[in-house]
Chain A
Amino acid sequence: MADTKNEASNKKGNWKKELGIVLLVTGVLGAIGWYFFPPIMPHVQLAAEPVSHTIFASKWFGEEGFTITNTLTAMFLVDLVVLALVFAVQKAVKSGDLVPRGISGAFEALIEAIYNLSESTAGKWTADIFPYFATFFIIVLIANYMELLPGVDSIGWLAKVAPNAHGYAARGALLVKEPGHYTVVPWVRVLSTDLNFTLALALVSVTMTQVIGVKALGLPYFGKFFNIKALFTVKPFWMGLIDFFVSLLEIISELAKIISFSFRLFGNLFAGSVMLFVIGFLVPIWFQSAVLLLEAFVGVIQALVFGLLTLMFMSLATHPHGGEHEEAHA
């Protein structure tokens, strides 16, 4: 008994020692890197940067053509990851093995958890609503977690920027032909830091909420937006008029959902990226890893919130707009 205890404490001591060694080595390496290549305040740009030459410049696509932006490459990567997951799970399901292992096991646990969640909220409309919830959750989660990969946001072309902007001053080591200020245009940038992506997801979410509402309630669903019934049934006429105008406000709240969906995801992830850059500039050793841990948390919470809000709005849309006024969502 005493022996095992001693061994355990020994092991624990070893573990602490190893952590200390790792911290020391990374600290020394970071300090060396910091000395030879001092960190610079990076150039922050809101819009996605183009990383390719102009393609498809022609009569049909316009003289300017298109450029591939670095968030578009991230989109392709996310698609590849999702497809790889799909094929891995499909292979596991087709093999007839009743006990899921590895990736398919993890996926079964995930799907079971979020299916139970959506069943408790959506009730009998689960079969209609769950696919949107799961799709949003998985694609946003993978898009957000791309931030944790090394090389994303940091490897790319050098582009010349205005002299007063932040960026590297040209040096021999940077292998540039002409002097001036340069900045790195990464090949891959986190997908959710592009407003186009989040806006597209928000549009899909809000549009399909209307579709599911019509599917559940039929045309009376639009009574939520144009409450003509209240004009005739509510007794003092002006009270009915007020009800009618309140129902018109629902249209605005529906449009505000698009903005809130897209800005929430975009703002969280873009602010996280900027914070990572700035922390890397201020405290080059160790601290960025702690911020990365926070980003991992934010990534999964935002993915869950996006999916969960879609689920909530969709299941709200399936409920008839009855006498009690209980919805108070912005």
Chain B
Amino acid sequence: MEQTILHAARFIGAGLAMIGALGGGIGIGLSAQGAVQGIARNPDAAGTVQTNMILGIAFSEAVAIYCLVIALLILFV
């Protein structure tokens, strides 16, 4: 019984931990939006804009990845 409750609580906790991925998703969307607008206005700068966009995406994605790591730690450790 206790084991079952622990198991259920683990899944709930992992699901709750992944709520934080919301912020990462919003951040990635915003940075892609900004980059596309920038490229549309100045297509010559596409290369640099793209590089910086990937960097920004990596930063905001890292936050979501922390949540994922926490969820995986809850589930599998």
- In the complex, which residues of chain A have a beta carbon less than 8 angstroms from the beta carbon of B48? 120
Task: Give the interface size class of chain A.
Answer: 20 to 34
8 Å CB contact of A46 from B55, B59, B68, B77: B77
Q: Are A264 and B72 in contact (CB-based, < 8 A)?
A: no
Q: Is A271 an interface residue (CB 8 A)?
A: yes
Question: Taking the complex as formed, is B22 at the interface, i.e. its CB lies under 8 A from any CB of chain A?
Answer: no
> If A45-B76, A46-B73, A271-B68 touch, does A264 touch B54 (CB 8 Å cutoff)?
no
Is A270 at the interface (CB under 8 A from chain B)?
Answer: yes
Number of interface residues of B (CB under 8 A): 18
Inter-chain CA distance A271–B65, complex, in Å, is: 9
Give the chain B neighbours of A164 by CB distance below 8 A. Answer: 3
Indicate if the CB atoms of A308 and B54 lie closer than 8 Å.
yes
Q: Is the CB of A330 within 8 A of B59?
A: yes
Contact residues of A: prevailing secondary structure: helix
- With contacts A46-B76, A271-B72 taken as known, whether A308 is within 8 angstroms of B51 at the C-beta atoms is yes
**Chain A residues, CB < 8 A from B61:** 264
Q: Which residue of A lies closest to B69 (CB)?
A: A267
Closest B residue to A266 by CB, please name it: B69
Within 8 A of A (CB), among B49-77: 51, 54-55, 58-59, 61-62, 65-66, 68-69, 72-73, 75-77
9 A-B pairs with least C-beta separation: A267-B65, A305-B58, A267-B69, A264-B62, A46-B76, A44-B76, A260-B62, A267-B68, A271-B68
Name B residues whose Cβ lies closer than 8 Å to a Cβ of A.
3, 48, 51, 54-55, 58-59, 61-62, 65-66, 68-69, 72-73, 75-77
Binding site for B on A (CB under 8 A): 44-47, 117, 120, 164, 260, 263-264, 266-268, 270-271, 274, 301, 304-305, 308-309, 312, 329-330
